[in-house]
């Protein structure tokens, strides 16, 4: 196991639209946060693709990647992830190839195979396309081909894109992408920030079956971590109620804007609801600096993570930055 000060920190941003705020506010907070974590030494800043959700403003993921990369200087910026079944590989290759030319050596392309939305919106995105299990591996291979140097006689060229070799990551919350990432020799990110149940099993599958590739010689795994940090455990738990409220809304099919924290929120719920939120946030680290240190250490011991990717849905933007400060200080100590 790596010591905490040997595990790089990164951030995944859902670009939450807060109650009482606007999409423009959410985008401004995202850029401010990216600049802040860059100053803290974070490795990368990823944006997630979601659609038709009132509380999330990251649907145009490639556009946001460019916005954040343009507003920062050296942190890696990427997708966490582009939901590949929603897009033609050529379109993705051209978009991220353009980004790679604008911001050389700074762009990551994380790929997922979930719709990132509800069934109605999925049909609007994909039109009449019916996704099959074999489509995702084929589309990943096509995307790798389009981003590589063109071969003699190759008739379909991504321009921009060809020859940029934008690093591809596979994302997932099940064993499917773990196996595929291992077979292709790609880095892997597990979505334990919302679906931690198969985390350890997926990491085992990925590492046991990994085949070296031109992109990667040995396994590299990112572990998603919901993080709420504050000077005291009590304040952190209070601030985390915004996340608890968001999770409960997801479980109930009632997706709203990010809500302000609420005193004694968990105590007001049925035991089944508390248990469901607890399962959803099974990898969460919430508390004071000492509690954050202990939580991240436990997670490092359990997963042998190569990198932690933090998700921090604190309602107050200033307190969100403070939470990230605490995480950075804990991991540097």
Q: Interhelix angle for 289-303 vs 199-209, to 10°?
A: 40
Predicted pLDDT of residue 310: 98
**Could you tell me if residue 205 is inside a domain?**
no
Residues above pLDDT 70, as percent of the chain: 94
Given 126, 150, 166, the domain boundary residue is 166
**Could you tell me if residue 113 is inside a domain?**
yes
Do 3 and 140 belong to one domain? yes
Predicted pLDDT of residue 239: 98
Do 271 and 123 belong to one domain? no
Do 154 and 247 belong to one domain? no
**Could you tell me if residue 186 is inside a domain?**
no
State the burial class of residue 21 (Cβ atoms within 10 Å of its Cβ: 0-12, 13-18, 19+).
middle
Predicted pLDDT of residue 221: 98
Buried b (16+ CB within 10 A) or exposed e, 136-172: bbebbebbbbbbbeeeeeeeeebebbbebebbbbbbb
Do 33 and 146 belong to one domain? yes
Residue 130 has pLDDT above 70, yes or no: no
Residue 282 has pLDDT above 80, yes or no: yes
Q: What is the pLDDT of residues 77-101, one digit of tens each?
A: 999 999 998 899 999 999 999 999 9
- How many angstroms separate the CA atoms of 230 and 325, rounded? 10
Residue 16 has pLDDT above 50, yes or no: yes
Residue 116 has pLDDT above 50, yes or no: no
**Could you tell me if residue 185 is inside a domain?**
no
CA 161 vs CA 83, 94, 154: distances in Å: 18, 5, 14
**Could you tell me if residue 176 is inside a domain?**
no
Do 25 and 92 belong to one domain? yes
Do 105 and 251 belong to one domain? no
Maximum C-alpha span of the chain: 66
Whether the full predicted model's pTM is greater than 0.75, yes or no, is: yes
Do 162 and 14 belong to one domain? yes
Find the CATH number of the domain harbouring 8: 3.20.20.30
Residues 6+ apart with CB under 8 A from 261: 238, 239, 240, 241, 242, 315
Q: Is the dihedral of CA 310, 311, 317, 323 positive or negative?
A: negative
Do 261 and 126 belong to one domain? no
Do 141 and 36 belong to one domain? yes
Q: What is the pLDDT of residues 237-281, one digit of tens each?
A: 999 999 999 999 988 888 899 999 999 999 999 999 999 999 999
**Could you tell me if residue 217 is inside a domain?**
no
**pLDDT-wise least confident of 46-60, 63-77, 318-332:** 46-60
Q: What is the pLDDT of residues 205-237, one digit of tens each?
A: 999 999 999 999 999 999 999 999 999 999 999
Relative to beta strand 107-112, strand 76-83 is parallel
**Could you tell me if residue 272 is inside a domain?**
yes
- How many angstroms separate the CA atoms of 75 and 68, rounded? 10
Do 90 and 236 belong to one domain? no
CA 110 vs CA 78, 106, 303, 330: distances in Å: 7, 13, 20, 27
- How many angstroms separate the CA atoms of 104 and 106, rounded? 6
State mean pLDDT over 13-30. 97
Q: Where are the alpha helices (DSSP H) in the chain?
A: 23-39, 61-70, 89-102, 119-126, 135-147, 175-184, 199-209, 233-252, 271-280, 289-303, 317-332
Q: Interhelix angle for 175-184 vs 135-147, to 10°?
A: 40
Do 259 and 159 belong to one domain? no
Given 166, 183, 203, the domain boundary residue is 166
**Domain containing 27: what range?**
1-166
- How many angstroms separate the CA atoms of 228 and 240, rounded? 6
Do 278 and 158 belong to one domain? no
Q: What domain count does the chain have?
A: 2
Residue 10 has pLDDT above 90, yes or no: yes
Given 120, 142, 166, the domain boundary residue is 166
**Could you tell me if residue 175 is inside a domain?**
no
Q: Quote the DSSP letter at residue 16.
A: B
Mean of all residue pLDDT scores within the chain: 93
Q: How confident is the model at residue 198 (pLDDT cuts 50, 70, 90)?
A: very high
């Amino acid at each position: 196991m790596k010591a905490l000060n040997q595990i790089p920190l990164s951030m995944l941003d859902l670009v939450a639209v807060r109650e009482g705020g606007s999409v423009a506010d959410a985008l401004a907070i995202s850029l401010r946060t990216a600049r802040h974590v860059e100053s803290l030494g974070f490795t990368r800043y990823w944006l997630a693709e979601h659609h038709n959700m009132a509380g999330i403003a990251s649907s145009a993921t490639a556009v946001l990647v460019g916005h954040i990369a343009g507003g920062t200087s050296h942190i890696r910026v990427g997708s966490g992830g582009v939901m590949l079944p929603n897009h033609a590989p050529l379109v993705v290759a051209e978009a991220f190839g353009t980004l790679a030319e604008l911001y050389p050596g700074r762009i990551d392309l994380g790929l997922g195979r979930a719709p990132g939305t509800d069934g109605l919106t999925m049909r609007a995105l994909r039109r009449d396309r019916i996704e099959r299990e074999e489509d995702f591996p084929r589309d990943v291979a096509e995307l790798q081909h389009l981003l590589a140097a063109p071969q003699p006689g190759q008739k379909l060229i991504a321009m921009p894109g060809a020859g940029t070799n934008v690093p591809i990551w596979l994302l997932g919350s099940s064993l499917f992408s773990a196996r595929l990432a291992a077979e292709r020799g790609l880095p892997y990110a597990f979505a334990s920030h919302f679906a931690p149940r198969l985390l350890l099993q997926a990491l085992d599958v990925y590492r046991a079956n990994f085949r070296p590739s031109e992109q990667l010689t040995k396994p590299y795994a990112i572990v998603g971590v919901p993080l709420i940090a504050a000077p005291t455990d009590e304040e952190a738990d209070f601030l985390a109620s915004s996340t608890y409220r968001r999770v409960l809304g997801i479980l109930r099919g009632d997706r709203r804007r990010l809500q302000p924290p609420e005193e004694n929120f968990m105590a007001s719920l049925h035991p089944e609801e508390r248990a469901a939120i607890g399962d959803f946030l099974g990898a969460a680290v919430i508390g004071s600096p000492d509690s954050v240190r202990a939580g991240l250490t436990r997670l490092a011991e359990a997963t042998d993570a190569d990198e932690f990717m933090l998700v921090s849905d604190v309602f107050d933007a200033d307190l969100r930055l403070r939470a990230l400060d605490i995480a950075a200080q804990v991991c540097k100590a």
